[in-house]
């Protein structure tokens, strides 16, 4: 694929992946491109753990689903992230950022505007939405043939110090290399972050993966090949909308937004 096509097609996979194992050749390639990323003073602070063991994946899937259910039913998830949720195309057009929940089960649709009120939370809980979502998340993770744990060397990652910023930046570059390469290989990838939202759950994954004290587990992803027909989960969002260059690019000083480039970034239909 042309490089720019890969870049433009990159996206997050919310739906299922094929259960087929990811070939060793492709796993090697993903790790090669990760290792080619830039890093401060060539420190290469990243470490990766590839997980194909079904029991481990099942256990992480259960942790992820249960974490989602808990963070959604106790309201912490919505409280933390409500500035990013959009429930209409108009809202999405206006903000040009965040996640548009364009797919909700029918019984929920009339209540979307109340989703973040105490009443909405009660309603969602009484309809067992957090359980439905958690179960779906568990299935998605469990159905993934490959998980990727991303770790940072703690001698580089020292929160509060510049080295911490540098190592995070480097890890981001390594992950972007992996992410782009999944597009070339016909694969999908998704962050599994709910276990980070619930106290104690991340530690369970750290223990399962045998992460040593000198490393910090920063992220876990699920990966696999994409099915031809990409089925969307019962509750799903799109986030292909992007800000216009005039909203994020300035010329000479930050007082002057870039003019004349806004036709460069039409919304990508995923």
Q: Given the rule CB under 6 A, which residues bind ligand FMN?
A: 11-12, 14, 99, 190-191, 193, 239-240
Let me know the angle formed at the C-alpha of 40 by 35 and 41, rounded to the nearest 5 degrees. Answer: 95
Rounded to 5 degrees, what are φ and ψ at 101?
Answer: -80, 90
Let me know the angle formed at the C-alpha of 242 by 238 and 244, rounded to the nearest 5 degrees. Answer: 160
**Shortest Å distance, C-beta 179 to ligand FMN:** 8
**Shortest Å distance, C-beta 114 to ligand FMN:** 23
Place of tokens 């509750």: 235
Transcribe 27-50 into DSSP letters: HHHHHHHHHTS--GGG---EEEEE
Nearer to ligand FMN, 128 or 243 (CB): 243
**Shortest Å distance, C-beta 220 to ligand FMN:** 10
The tokens for 81 are 């992230």
Nearer to ligand FMN, 189 or 206 (CB): 189
Nearer to ligand FMN, 11 or 96 (CB): 11
**Shortest Å distance, C-beta 168 to ligand FMN:** 10
Residue-wise over 204-243: b if at least 16 C-beta within 10 A, else e? ebbebbebeeebbbbbbbbbbbbeeeeeebebbbbbebee
**Shortest Å distance, C-beta 204 to ligand FMN:** 17
Nearer to ligand FMN, 44 or 190 (CB): 190
**Shortest Å distance, C-beta 11 to ligand FMN:** 3
Greatest alpha-carbon pair distance for the chain in Å reads 55
Q: How far is residue 45's CA from residue 167's CA, in Å, rounded to a whole number?
A: 6
Let me know the angle formed at the C-alpha of 119 by 116 and 120, rounded to the nearest 5 degrees. Answer: 45
Helices 54-73, 118-126: crossing angle, 10 deg rounding: 130
Nearer to ligand FMN, 85 or 191 (CB): 191
Nearer to ligand FMN, 179 or 225 (CB): 179
Nearer to ligand FMN, 73 or 190 (CB): 190
**Shortest Å distance, C-beta 203 to ligand FMN:** 18
């Amino acid at each position: 694929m042309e490089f720019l096509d890969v870049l433009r097609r990159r996206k997050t996979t919310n739906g299922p992946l094929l259960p087929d194992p990811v070939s060793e050749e492709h796993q090697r390639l993903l790790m090669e491109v990760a290792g080619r990323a830039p890093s401060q003073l060539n420190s290469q602070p990243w470490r990766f753990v590839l997980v194909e063991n079904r029991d481990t994946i099942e256990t992480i899937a259960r942790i992820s689903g249960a974490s989602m259910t808990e963070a959604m039913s106790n309201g912490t998830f919505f409280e933390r992230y409500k500035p990013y949720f959009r429930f209409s195309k108009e809202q999405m057009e206006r903000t040009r950022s965040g996640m548009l929940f364009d797919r909700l089960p029918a019984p929920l649709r009339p209540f979307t505007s109340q989703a973040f009120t105490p009443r909405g939370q009660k309603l969602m809980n009484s309809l067992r939405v957090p359980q439905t979502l958690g179960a779906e998340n568990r299935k998605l993770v469990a159905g993934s043939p490959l998980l990727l744990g991303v770790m940072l060397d703690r001698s580089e990652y020292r929160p509060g110090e510049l080295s911490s910023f540098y190592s995070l930046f480097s890890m981001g570059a390594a992950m972007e290399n992996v992410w782009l390469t999944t597009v070339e290989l016909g694969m999908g990838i998704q962050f599994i972050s709910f276990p980070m939202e619930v106290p104690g759950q991340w530690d369970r994954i750290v223990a399962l993966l045998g992460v040593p004290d000198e490393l910090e587990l920063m992220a876990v992803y699920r990966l696999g090949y994409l099915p031809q027909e990409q089925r969307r989960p019962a509750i799903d969002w799109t986030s292909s909308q992007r800000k216009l260059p005039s909203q994020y690019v300035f010329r000479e000083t930050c007082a002057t937004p870039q003019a004349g480039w806004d036709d460069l970034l039409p919304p990508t239909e995923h």
